[in-house]
Amino acid sequence: MYAPNPVCSLCNYSTHILYHLPQLQRLDTVDVSNKAMRELAEATVVKKKMYYNMRVKTLKRNMAEMLLHLRRDKAAFTKATRDRIKNVSFMMKEVIF
């Protein structure tokens, strides 16, 4: 009669449900009042948080390094362009006079 719940197809949905709804007694026709089951869900969520926090820190560090290299390259290209403009201006002055 009812269509399947799309949330149920998400990865580790039951772990997150158990973690965020501690008062829940039954999930998908299973008794979840077992303390060990809740502790396992909490440990899994904590591990995932640690993993994703480390991923964020790694991405931020990589972005900072990339920005540093880009700033150095920009400075080098800007200096090279200024030098070329200066040389062209000098050559134009020699040609005019």
Task: Name the 3-class secondary structure at 26.
Answer: strand
Q: What is the pTM of this model?
A: 0.57
- Other Cβ atoms less than 10 A from the Cβ of 18: the count is 22
Query: Domain spans of the chain?
Result: 6-96
Q: Kindly give the confidence (pLDDT) of every residue in the chain, 97 residues in length, as a single tens digit, with 9 standing for 90 and above.
A: 567 777 777 777 788 788 877 777 777 777 777 777 778 888 888 999 999 999 999 999 999 999 999 999 999 999 999 999 999 988 888 887 6
**Cβ-count burial 26-60 (b if 16+ within 10 Å, e if not):** eeeeeebeeeebeeebeeebeeeeeeeeeeeeeee
